[in-house]
Chains A and B, each alone.
Chain A
């Protein structure tokens, strides 16, 4: 029973961070109908941002969030303006291949610059506490709280502000949005910036809890697909639920099925959902 509670808790903690990565991807898909295969690399850049921030400027990783999140937002906007905008009209498969190329480029530039060594971030408060006999790593708990704060802020932004409403409207029906006077081009740009910033922020938050290496994006992007497909592509609440579900399934699977096949459980779930409920576990059906 204790093992069960333990894996449930650590699953939820990791799941919230997965969810944050998933939200970035799903928002971009909702507005632009593109799947950004380079999303995992954005997370990787956030992780390395946190690492170098601490190494070079003695910046606490969680404080460096304030630096990297806006920076990644700008990077996302530029990426959209300079590179992606011309590709998107060519169809979704072209965009998929293009972002696959981008992902190769970024990951391997990082590999060239930072080598393939596994790195870790050590924190003075990187200890494990045991409330109610359940072990919780402090950095992961802090990351969890911050992830929830960021997600709630994003939710408020999407539901309360004009720009947020414009984003949701575009995601529901681009043609009608244009007719209602929404500058869809600008919405797309902001959304891509937002998605990239979320990925970067999730990377910063994850950095103290994971190994850092330049090709970590490969693993993360696949997990990210699992999440958004579980929740239904384009749905923010779906991505949250999918992220937490994946976190829990992975950590329960590692304990009760097999550690070696831990990642495989997620993929099998992914295929099953793709096949039987392609609009997601919580979608309304196609």
Chain B
């Protein structure tokens, strides 16, 4: 047990303690949203933060996950714990050809290409009615009755969803943590800093990027699958809109690009803004997303978590 694992363990302890100590279903709902956004922010951050490949089309991968999960459930009766990982897998599969195509482009060109891919996916979701039910979308009316450890799961309570969200967020953060210390992570940072140099020292940059995109898509797709079960409703505007892609970008940028804890901070921030503003006006939170994104890039491009880490690192070094 090393000292640097302490904050992570503490975090998990707090996450387990929350539903046991606070029995307020709105509070739990907010926690679930935060954890879901953490997963999505982490998914984007893997590609955008570590590899420096800005994608404006991650909603497409989220949508693939959400549709796969909900269709498997409604047409095949597949339970959530199979459906959600399969949603992630489907998104990862879809991402491979997308990656092979789009990674031939660099920087802003890549970003534009992902935007186009996302728009195409949304159009397909709208018009391929035999599979996606078009603009009507899918609605889950009943969830399966299951027993876990001899107790039947109460889907009307938030607790089962909370547990699932914790599991997904832990997976996402562990993946990011593993990536940071792995060989692939080092490749990605090299690609981010100087792609030509990375290629010159023998890194197969396209392969590294495609693998990373698949990883990112897996997380985003699982996030989509979770969304489908939690909100019980999937339609093209809800899961494939450009707004969703921008929210993922926002979380990663505000939290801190290329950091492990950043997406969690970004997600807390995003959810807090959304919930505080929602009472006053319906779409107002997007104004603040835009504003905060501009402020963060102007004044602390390393994000909140990045800034905190640098300050604490400075303090320890000075002491």
Contacts and interface: CB of A to CB of B under 8 A. Distances in A.
Contacts of B105: 274-275, 278
Interface in A86-138: 86-87, 90, 92-94, 96-98, 100-109, 111-112, 116
A270 interface: yes
Given A97-B54, A112-B283, A225-B112, 11 more contacts: A83-B298, A86-B298, A97-B249, A101-B294, A103-B290, A108-B283, A222-B116, A263-B119, A274-B112, A274-B113, A275-B104
Interface stretch (B12-20, B120-128, B219-227): B120-128
Contacts of A116: 283
A275 B107 CA distance: 14
A166 B115 CA distance: 33
A98 B286 contact: no
Among B104, B111, B291, B297, max chain A CB count under 10 A is at B297
Nearest to A37: B56
A92 B116 contact: no
Nearest to B124: A264
Contacts of A96: 54, 108, 111
Given A97-B297, A278-B109, A108 B116 contact: no
Interface residues of B, number: 40
B253 interface: yes
B140 interface: no
B183 to A, nearest CB: 24
A271 B107 contact: no
A108 B287 contact: yes
A271 B113 contact: yes
Interface string B33-67: 00000000000000000001010100000000000
Given A100-B246, A263-B119, A274 B109 contact: yes
B229 interface: no
B297 to A, nearest CB: 5
A35 interface: yes
A280 B281 CA distance: 43
Contacts of B187: none
B120 A102 contact: no
A97 B253 contact: yes
A225 B126 contact: no
A35 B119 contact: no
B174 interface: no
Interface residues of A, number: 41
A176 B101 CA distance: 36
A226 interface: yes
Interface in A54-89: 83, 86-87
Nearest to B52: A93
A102 B292 CA distance: 10
25 contacts: A87-B297, A92-B108, A96-B54, A97-B54, A97-B297, A98-B294, A98-B297, A100-B246, A101-B297, A104-B286, A104-B287, A104-B289, A104-B293, A105-B290, A106-B290, A108-B283, A109-B287, A112-B281, A222-B116, A263-B119, A264-B119, A267-B116, A270-B116, A271-B120, A274-B112
Interface string A262-273: 011001101100
Interface in B84-116: 101, 104-105, 107-109, 111-113, 115-116
Interface in A241-260: 258, 260
A116 B289 CA distance: 18
A261 interface: yes
A35 B118 CA distance: 19
Contacts of B107: 92-93
Contact of A90 (B127, B249, B286, B301): B301
Contacts of B116: 222, 225-226, 267, 270-271, 274
Given A98-B297, A229-B112, A261 B291 contact: no
A190 B253 CA distance: 30
Contacts of B54: 93, 96-97
Contact of B127 (A260, A267, A271): A260
A262 to B, nearest CB: 9
A111 B283 contact: yes
B133 interface: no
Interface in B273-319: 281, 283-284, 286-287, 289-294, 297-298, 301
A90 B296 CA distance: 13
A87 to B, nearest CB: 6
Contacts of A104: 246, 286-287, 289-290, 293
B27 to A, nearest CB: 27
B106 to A, nearest CB: 9
Sorted from nearest, which 6 A-B pairs have the closest CB atoms? A105-B290, A104-B290, A101-B293, A108-B286, A101-B294, A108-B287
Contacts of A90: 297, 301
Nearest to A270: B116
Given A112-B283, A112-B287, A264-B120, A105 B301 contact: no
B112 A102 contact: no
Contacts of B30: none
B166 to A, nearest CB: 30
A270 B127 CA distance: 20
A263 B291 contact: no
Contacts of A97: 54, 249, 253, 293, 297
A264 B292 CA distance: 32
B117 interface: yes
